[in-house]
Amino acid sequence: MSTVSEAVAQALALVATWDPKLVSIVLLSLRISLSAIVFGALLGLPFGAWVAVTDFPGRRAVVVILNALMGLPSVVVGLVVYLLLSRAGPLGSFGILFTPAAMVIAQTILIAPTLAALTRQVIGDGWSEYREQLCSLGETRLGAAMTLLWDLKYSLVTILLAGFGRAASEVGAVMIVGGNIDGVTRVMTTTIALETSKGDLPLALALGLVLLSVVLAVNAGAYFVKETAQHRYG
């Protein structure tokens, strides 16, 4: 019991003193997961909106696949990206395996389908409400998708949040394609896994606390944005 309480005390000290190693790991994690969210959103949001407002053959299959991909195991994504980026792989010539770029790619692939599937849900509900009005005004399907994305932006914040949560907390993909190299590709989750297995609990605990706080802060922020917007714009 005393080891645990000591570890907690040391962890709090690390956080309180802005331990440089801790800070660099946290910043790298945020940089990678936020980049993945940006790229994932650029791919997932328009695609989800497009699926929601367009009728095409095979649309149901696309929806089922998107929904299934929400449960995509991160280690599988890691493995696939690893194979693609490894020396012998088709994208091996870029030489980005074991770099933060590879980690961004893996997390983007992991969360883009989630963002697309959830966006399709939100935009689809909006579309059934707006459809007749937008068609009456002569809006194109592409225009309608963009209009809905903009009009429902505060609901999409929650979706981005879910994506960020998944990206920031996954460990399998970044471990495989990043390699958990100290000072280069070591992020919060991989450090926690490594330090725990080494028995260095303070750093693992400190990072766990930071990870929790980040997720909590982002959630609180998104909730506040949505509530305020709902109140102001209805």
Partner 1 sequence: MMRAPASLLPLRLEGLVFEAGGRRIIRGISATLKRGPRTVVLGPNGAGKSVLLRLCHGLLTPTAGAVTWNAPELPSAPRRQAMVFQRPVLLRRSALGNVRYALEVGGVPAREQEDRAYEALCKVGLEGHVDRPARVMSGGEQQRLALARVWALRPEILFLDEPTASLDPGSTHEIEKVILALHEAGTKIVMVTHNLGQARRLADEILFLCRGRLLERQPADQFLRTPASSEAARFLEGELPW
Which residues make up the interface to partner 1 (CB under 8 A)?
A: 129-130, 132-139, 143, 147, 151-152, 229, 232-234
Smallest distance from partner 1 to CB 44, Å = 22
Smallest distance from partner 1 to CB 148, Å = 9
Smallest distance from partner 1 to CB 199, Å = 53
Nearest residue (CB) to partner 1, 60 versus 231: 231
Nearest residue (CB) to partner 1, 93 versus 136: 136
Query: Tokens at residue 107, please?
Result: 């997390």
Smallest distance from partner 1 to CB 125, Å = 13
Smallest distance from partner 1 to CB 128, Å = 11
Alpha carbon distance 152, 175 (integer Å): 35
Nearest residue (CB) to partner 1, 5 versus 128: 128
DSSP one-letter string for 79-123: HHHHHHHSTTSTTGGG--TTSHHHHHHHHHHHHHHHHHHHHHHHH
Helix boundaries (H) for 54-73: 59-69
Nearest residue (CB) to partner 1, 6 versus 129: 129
Alpha carbon distance 155, 178 (integer Å): 33
DSSP code of residue 195: H
Answer whether 36's CB lies under 8 Å from 108's CB: yes
Smallest distance from partner 1 to CB 229, Å = 8
Query: Tokens at residue 198, please?
Result: 């080494």
Nearest residue (CB) to partner 1, 58 versus 234: 234
Nearest residue (CB) to partner 1, 90 versus 234: 234
Angle CA 81–83–84, to nearest 5? 60
Residues 6+ apart with CB under 8 A from 171: 74, 189, 190, 192, 193
Nearest residue (CB) to partner 1, 20 versus 234: 234
DSSP one-letter string for 136-189: HHT--HHHHHHHHHHHTHHHHHHHHHHHHHHHHH--HHHHHHHTT-TTTT--HH
Smallest distance from partner 1 to CB 166, Å = 27
